Amino acid sequence: MNILVTGAWHDAKEHIGQIEKLGHSVRFMQYEKEALPCDYNWVEGVICNGLFLTHQIQNFTNLKYIQLTSAGLDRVPMDYVQKKNIHIFNARGVYSIPMAEFAVGGVFQLYKRYSLFYCNKNLHKWEKQRDLIELFGKTVCIAGCGSVGTECAKRFKAFGCRVIGVDVVKQNNDNYDELFLTDSFDDVIKQADIVVLTLPLTKETHHILDKSMIDKLKPNAVLINISRGGVVDTQALIEALKENKFLGAVLDVFEEEPLAEDCELWDLQNVVITPHNSFVGDGNNNRLNNVIMKNLMSMGEIV
């Protein structure tokens, strides 16, 4: 198979020889916005991230294999992929561990008021806080029970939380105390002290957390979004946070990225903001390398 590999796979150059030993021909391009180092019709497989944002997938007339370095599929025209029976693999499980750790850490930032203690440290100010919150015994609702959601569930369970899951598919998973379908989300969310969003962005999940859903959050609730910004109605969220309708939000993803400098979210004291950074971890490269090579070997059995 003729494979185009992009710099989205950071360790690509270290594995090109290994790929060629599997019988594949490889062309490498560092930046996905650049011109291809080969003809479009040469390419039978790609290992990339956002290649199809700048290169129309229809130009790849012989494409039969896509390996993404991302977990999400929202940068790929999936209707076309399915129509053409192109085999597609994502980076499932690669980023789940750091994202789950981030989710738990985000709750602690709000529950333990780390930002206030940090400010007081800089001011050399000794001031006890008598309203810190425990994670133990809280109910956590995880919307999206894939690999990221499940890693979140494991960690919250370890802290003595009751974990309930919401997903498009009813499944058996011992990491959750209860599981519900997404059409029950509007009822389930009322139970939650912590809501973690790990849903993929689709037509069905766009603004799944709209004003009516946000209004259902408990007054002491914490909302964590580590999925995609588009699953939340940003303006409705801002208004609710400004009115202190719930405890706070931990936001790593946004409808528009980078987040505009004049966005009101920056100035809200009950919001933790990070720049789409929750997926970063020092074990990612090894996990991604293993996923890519495993999927390539499975393609050898198919083609």
| Cβ(66)–Cβ(45) below 8 Å | yes
For residues 116 and 254, membership in a common domain is answered with yes
Over its length of 303 residues, how does the chain's per-residue pLDDT go in tens digits?
999 999 999 999 999 999 999 999 999 999 999 999 999 999 999 999 999 999 999 999 999 999 999 998 999 999 999 999 999 999 999 999 999 999 999 999 999 999 999 999 999 999 999 999 999 999 999 999 999 999 999 999 999 999 999 999 988 999 999 999 999 999 999 999 999 999 999 999 999 999 999 999 999 999 999 999 999 999 999 999 999 999 999 999 999 999 999 999 999 999 999 999 999 999 999 999 999 999 999 886 555
Identified catalytic residue from 257, 264, 287, 301: 257
For residues 77 and 142, membership in a common domain is answered with no
Identified catalytic residue from 10, 228, 256, 301: 228
For residues 107 and 65, membership in a common domain is answered with no
**Would you state the pLDDT for residue 303?**
52
Q: Tell me, yes or no, if 34 is annotated catalytic.
A: no
Residue 292: C-alpha distances to residues 60, 93, 144, 153, 261 (Å): 21, 12, 24, 26, 37
Specify if 196 maps to a domain: yes
For residues 186 and 88, membership in a common domain is answered with no
**Would you state the pLDDT for residue 302?**
56
141 has which bridge partners? 164, 195
**Would you state the pLDDT for residue 96?**
98
Q: Tell me, yes or no, if 92 is annotated catalytic.
A: no
pTM beyond cutoff 0.85: yes
What are the DSSP calls for 164-222, one per residue? EEEESS----TT-SEEEEGGGHHHHGGG-SEEEE-----TTTTTSB-HHHHTTS-TT-E
Q: State the maximum Cα–Cα separation within the chain, in Å, rounded to a whole number.
A: 67
For residues 225 and 181, membership in a common domain is answered with yes
Instruction: Calculate ∠ Cα 264-269-273, nearest 5°.
Output: 65
> What SS3 class is residue 18?
helix
198/251 Cα distance (integer angstroms): 12
Specify if 278 maps to a domain: no
Identified catalytic residue from 92, 206, 276, 287: 276
**Would you state the pLDDT for residue 69?**
98
Q: Tell me, yes or no, if 228 is annotated catalytic.
A: yes
Q: How many domains does the chain have?
A: 2
Domain that holds residue 18: 2-94+283-302
For residues 107 and 131, membership in a common domain is answered with yes
Kindly state the tokens that stand for 298: 């499975």
Query: Which residue's structure tokens are 């910004």?
Result: 229
Residues 6 or more apart from 266 whose CB is under 8 A from it? Answer: 259, 273
For residues 126 and 254, membership in a common domain is answered with yes
29/32 Cα distance (integer angstroms): 7
90/29 Cα distance (integer angstroms): 19
Residue 119's CB: how many other CB atoms inside 10 A?
12
Instruction: Write the CATH number for 251.
Output: 3.40.50.720
